[in-house]
Structure 1
Amino acid sequence: MLLKKQTVWLLTMLSLVVVLSVYYITSPEQKSNELAGVEEEVKDEQKQAATETEDQDVDSIISEAAGDEEFEALRLKLEDQRSELKEELSTVVATTDLPADERSEAMDQMKKLNQTAQKEQMLESLIRASGYEDALVRADGEQVMITVKSDKEHSKAAANEIIKMVKKEIGNTNYVAVEFQPAK
């Protein structure tokens, strides 16, 4: 009998915690005050992120990548930047105070980020399948920067093949840069 009382007590407490959590999350007073502050923070962070990305010279970052660790570190950094941007966009989508147009635009940007990441991974896989040791693909709007690690001879024909792969996968790109790095 004692075990049943403890079980009933535990289930009662757990259900109380769940009910209070749902109430806190859906509370309209709390939500509107928090979201107003979050919205301002998101706008400030977006402005800071835009200025930071403009300040960074992407070519110098990629040219510094020499080993596998650097490639992975750059991939992780790019993934972190995208996840932060996705988080900011998801808070914009969750904001009920904003018009539907802005929330829809934020959702479209999130989808575009996901598609870009998938295309980058696909291109990296295709380049590796072509016989290169490793590749790092960074797509930023209509610009695509590719760093390829290879023991093979670096020629214009090899770069053109990679550019053709990019055009086939991504489509409309104004600028594609291919850089070869010797494998260690």
Structure 2
Amino acid sequence: MLLKKQTVWLLTMLSLVVVLSVYYLTAPEENAADMTATEQAEKAENKAENKAENKTEMKTDNKADTKGESKGNKESSKNAEGSSVTIASGDEFESLRMQIEDERAKLNEELTEKMGNTDLSAEERDEAYAKIEQLSETKVKENIIENLIVAMDYNAALVRVDGTDVKVSVKADKQTKTEANNIIRLVRKEVSDAQNVVVDFQPEK
């Protein structure tokens, strides 16, 4: 009877040892598995957050760049439009100026031929020379007046001097008598013998 009890006790102890052994062997693996799963989850979460942040930053940067480019394009367009207006004004006056210069070049050529024509009298040749000098002086005066008018904050100006007659064309959206009088005084200061001065304000296109 005593032997039977000892046998039962021994088997119980052995069973307990086996259970404890199995527990200690499997517990670290389960803990390690749990830790690995947790670490992987954290890494995945961090990766997702970083990806989301990067995507947000890229989207913000792209939006800012697009906005900046759009603004830059608008400003460029605006500047291009402003330049086209200025160029149009300059081209219009430049075309008229070239016509005047062509006419004067033909006249200068005729006067030069007269100067070299020995069949003409000395008085006639001197007169031709004086007219050539007058043409040169007229051109200089016109250029001076045009530069002075542009310095008065006008975009473009065209001055035509014909003897005592002076016609001034100015690009301006607004016109007043005061501005016209200022230009007339300026012209008479540069062209002392000017009698009939006409100021023509032309609107910007």
TM bucket, shorter chain: 0.5 to 0.7
Give the secondary-structure state (helix, strand or coil) at the position aligned to 1:96. Answer: coil
Segments of 5+ residues of structure 1 without an aligned counterpart are 1-65
> Residue 195 of structure 2: which of 154, 174, 181 is its match?
174
CA RMSD in angstroms comes to 1.1
Report the alpha carbon displacement of residue 182 of structure 1 after superposing the two structures with TM: 1.3
- The separation in 2 between residues aligned to 1:176 and 1:110, in whole angstroms, is 23
1:82 to 97, 100, 104: 104
- Give the structure 2 partner of residue 131 of structure 1: 153
Distance in 2 (CA, whole Å) between partners of 1:176 and 1:70 is: 21
Which residue does the alignment assign to 2:95?
73
Could you tell me how far apart the structure 1 residues matched to 2:165 and 2:181 are? 16
Aligned equivalents of 2:190, 2:89: Cα separation in 1: 26
Structure with the largest fraction of helix: 2
TM-score with structure 1 setting the length = 0.62
Q: Secondary structure at the match of 2:171?
A: strand
% same residue: 46
Distance (whole Å) between structure 2 residues aligned to residue 140 and residue 97 of structure 1: 29
Aligned residue among 149, 158, 161 for 2:182? 161
> Offset at 1:183?
1.5
Secondary structure, counterpart of 1:91 in structure 2? helix
| Higher RCO by CA contacts (8 Å cutoff, separation 6 or greater) | 1
Aligned AA for 1:107?
Y
**Unpaired segments of 5 or more residues in structure 2?**
1-87
Aligned-pair distance for 1:123?
0.4
Give the partner amino acid of 2:122.
A
SS of residue in 2 equivalent to 1:136: strand
Checking the alignment, whether the CA contact within 8 Å between 2:145 and 2:186 is kept in structure 1 is yes
Deviations 1:5-57 (A, max 9, x none): xxxxxxxxxxxxxxxxxxxxxxxxxxxxxxxxxxxxxxxxxxxxxxxxxxxxx
CA contact (8 A) 2:165 2:196 kept: yes
Deviation at 1:67, TM superposition (A): 3.3
CA distance in 1, matches of 2:162, 2:95: 18
C-alpha distance in 2 between matches for 1:150 and 1:84: 32
